[in-house]
């Protein structure tokens, strides 16, 4: 990819993210993005192919930043404790996700993540090759898997990976649904349960218990 192409792609994704944070998911139309980026619809179609793929690129970049913070917190934790317990590992993994959903447009982040996940699945089913986005075999997830394997030596590696992946999916789904409910209540279109102060602590305790259960026969 040439420097000019990279610059165009970055400008388009930057524009999409600015519009998303300012106006929400509905504000990220292709024409609005091209106007913001100073390019044209043909450039978006050429580099991304569709609005769904542009959205996927935007979400992938944001979750890449989440991954960077997860890596930093894990290194910080391991510098203090050689084999951190499951609860602390989950806390380090979840903290950047919680921070994202506490930020601006939290409800839209939940919907954007689900839309990008659907685009990711559709692309894989169609046999398209693209950079990984969600919970995949990356440097960050491999490091957490390795740390969890020290904390949970009774679990075979494949079963631990399966549990870790499902724990991440539940973590993301819970935060997305809660954020969407808060956004709906703010707009007056629905009533949301009052947030429970300890809900995230309960979630991490629940996930730690699921991860730590005895190995399957």
Q: The domain that contains 37 carries what CATH number?
A: 1.10.10.60
Longest dimension (CA), the chain: 59
- Tokens representing residue 53 in the block: 């793929």
Kindly state whether residues 127 and 198 are assigned to the same domain: yes
Worst-scoring range by mean pLDDT, 27-41, 113-127, 156-170?
A: 113-127
User: Does residue 217 sit within a domain?
Assistant: no
- Give the tens place of pLDDT for each residue, 29-85: 889 999 999 998 998 888 888 887 888 888 888 888 889 999 999 999 999 988 999
pLDDT of residue 106: 62
What is the spatial distance between Cα 150 and Cα 71, in angstroms, rounded to a whole number? 17
How many structural domains are present in the chain? 2
The average pLDDT across 84-104 equals 90
Element (H, E) at 122: helix 106-125
- Give the tens place of pLDDT for each residue, 130-147: 555 555 668 899 999 999
Contact criterion met (CB below 8 Å) for 94 and 172: no
Kindly state whether residues 112 and 138 are assigned to the same domain: yes
pTM: 0.76
Kindly state whether residues 29 and 80 are assigned to the same domain: no
Contact criterion met (CB below 8 Å) for 33 and 16: yes
Higher pLDDT: 191 or 108? It is 108
pLDDT of residue 111: 67
Query: What range defines the domain where residue 4 resides?
Result: 1-49
Residue 154 has pLDDT above 90, yes or no: yes
């Amino acid at each position: 990819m040439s420097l000019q192409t990279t610059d165009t792609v970055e400008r388009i994704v930057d524009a999409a993210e600015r519009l998303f944070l300012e106006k929400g998911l509905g504000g990220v139309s292709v024409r609005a993005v091209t106007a913001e980026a100073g390019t044209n619809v043909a450039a978006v179609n050429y580099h991304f192919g569709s609005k769904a793929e542009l959205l996927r690129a935007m979400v992938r970049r944001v979750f890449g930043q989440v991954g960077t913070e997860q890596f930093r917190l894990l290194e910080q934790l391991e510098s203090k404790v050689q084999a951190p317990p499951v609860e602390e590992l989950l806390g380090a993994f979840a903290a950047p996700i919680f921070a994202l959903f506490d930020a601006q447009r939290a409800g839209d982040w939940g919907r954007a993540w689900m839309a990008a996940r659907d685009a990711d699945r559709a692309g894989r089913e169609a046999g398209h090759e693209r950079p990984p986005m969600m919970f995949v075999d990356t440097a960050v997830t491999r490091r957490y898997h390795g740390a969890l394997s020290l904390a949970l030596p009774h679990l075979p590696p494949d079963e631990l990976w399966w549990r870790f992946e499902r724990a991440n999916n539940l973590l993301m789904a819970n935060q997305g649904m809660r954020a969407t409910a808060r956004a709906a209540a703010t707009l007056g279109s629905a009533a949301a349960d009052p947030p429970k102060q300890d809900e995230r602590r309960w979630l991490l305790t629940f996930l730690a218990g699921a991860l730590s259960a005895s190995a399957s026969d």
